């Protein structure tokens, strides 16, 4: 049986304590608490300890948080105390890497106020080293902080909006509209025909990088319809039966990946070159080669991504 709770970012049972978000007094007391920890993010990159890849959190009075232009976002609480996330992107490193904003940014930024060996790093590079709790905290903070960066103005009247409810709302003082963090549903498809699996490669991906097909769910559409539409649009393959398998929060920037099994009714591939550079069918033995990393033409899917999780489950016959 597929064990969906093992997906990276899949959730750790964090008490998000949503009832406290609108209580400014309670949030203030939590921030003043000695056990409260704040996770700093710089341009979407969390602070991480190089030695073991652990997520780094600091006290609410730590000097690195002086770089934050907005109040911290309340993430929740557990037996260790309350957790917040803060955006310190106002800090300007002495040198700026030319890989910022790339598909994968290998650069690291070390803030002078942080302990030696701690740096801001790309979450994709460390996500499999995080504990389930740290992964949930990092995914939540990255998505909500990123939403604030891109949604500073009211979409109703265009005026600047204010942060409210401990970071979980933006309130427009001009027209009163309340805005909430968005999550975009995305279907990712394990499309099979017999003992073969369909994989594809985006035109913008690195060479040898293949994965499952995926696409956004459109308004008024079920996820089953989205699976069939996306696969047909990108490859002209028709999919019949579709069923849900597992999901994964994917904070790059704010998606919820809905993993689905799709049974192909046709097999001839006609590519949409705007969507895919290539798409191929691979058998089980070839898929095992891919996962081992010794396939000549196809690199293994990224560790921690739901695509790899679903492919491994299919290969082990653990989808039922």
* pLDDT digit string, tens, across residues 118-140: 999 999 999 999 999 999 999 99
Task: Please name each of the domains of the chain with its CATH number.
Answer: 4-150 (no CATH), 184-314 (3.90.79.10)
- The closest alpha carbon to 237, from 279, 296, 176, belongs to 279
- What value does the mean pLDDT take over residues 177-190? 97
User: Structure tokens of 106?
Assistant: 């290998």
What contacts 187, CB < 8 A, 6 or more positions away?
214, 215, 216, 217, 223, 226, 227, 230, 257, 258, 260
* pLDDT digit string, tens, across residues 246-294: 999 999 999 999 999 999 999 999 999 999 999 999 999 999 999 999 9
CB 254 within 8 A of CB 146: yes
What contacts 162, CB < 8 A, 6 or more positions away?
170, 171, 172, 173
Q: What is the pLDDT of residue 1?
A: 59
Rounded Cα distance between 28 and 267, Å, is 59
């Amino acid at each position: 049986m597929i064990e969906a709770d093992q997906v990276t970012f899949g959730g750790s049972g964090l008490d998000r304590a949503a009832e406290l978000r609108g209580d400014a007094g309670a949030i203030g007391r939590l921030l003043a608490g000695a056990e409260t920890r704040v996770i700093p993010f710089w341009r979407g990159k969390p602070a991480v300890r190089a030695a073991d890849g652990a997520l780094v959190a600091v006290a609410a009075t730590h000097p690195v948080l002086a770089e934050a232009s907005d109040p911290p976002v309340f993430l929740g609480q557990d037996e260790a105390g309350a957790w917040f996330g803060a955006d310190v992107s106002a800090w300007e490193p002495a040198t700026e890497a030319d890989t910022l904003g790339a598909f994968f940014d290998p650069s690291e930024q070390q803030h002078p106020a942080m302990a030696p060996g701690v740096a801001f790093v790309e979450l994709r590079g460390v996500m499999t080293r995080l504990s389930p709790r740290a992964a949930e905290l990092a995914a939540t903070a990255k998505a909500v902080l990123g939403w604030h960066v891109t949604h500073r103005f009211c979409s109703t009247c265009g005026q600047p909006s204010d942060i409210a409810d401990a970071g979980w709302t933006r309130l427009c003082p001009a027209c009163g509209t309340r805005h909430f963090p968005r999550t975009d549903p995305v279907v990712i498809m394990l499309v099979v025909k017999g003992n073969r699996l369909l994989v594809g490669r985006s035109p913008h991906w690195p060479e040898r990088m293949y994965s499952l097909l995926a696409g956004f769910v459109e308004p008024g559409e079920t996820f089953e319809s989205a699976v069939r539409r996306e696969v047909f649009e990108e490859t002209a393959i028709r999919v019949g039966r579709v069923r849900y398998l597992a999901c994964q929060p994917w904070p790059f920037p704010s998606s919820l990946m809905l993993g689905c099994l799709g049974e192909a009714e046709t097999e001839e591939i006609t590519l949409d070159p705007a969507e895919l550079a290539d798409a191929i069918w691979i058998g089980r033995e070839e898929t095992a080669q891919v996962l081992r990393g010794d396939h000549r033409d196809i690199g293994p899917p990224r560790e921690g991504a739901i695509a790899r999780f679903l492919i491994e489950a299919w290969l082990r016959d653990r989808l039922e």
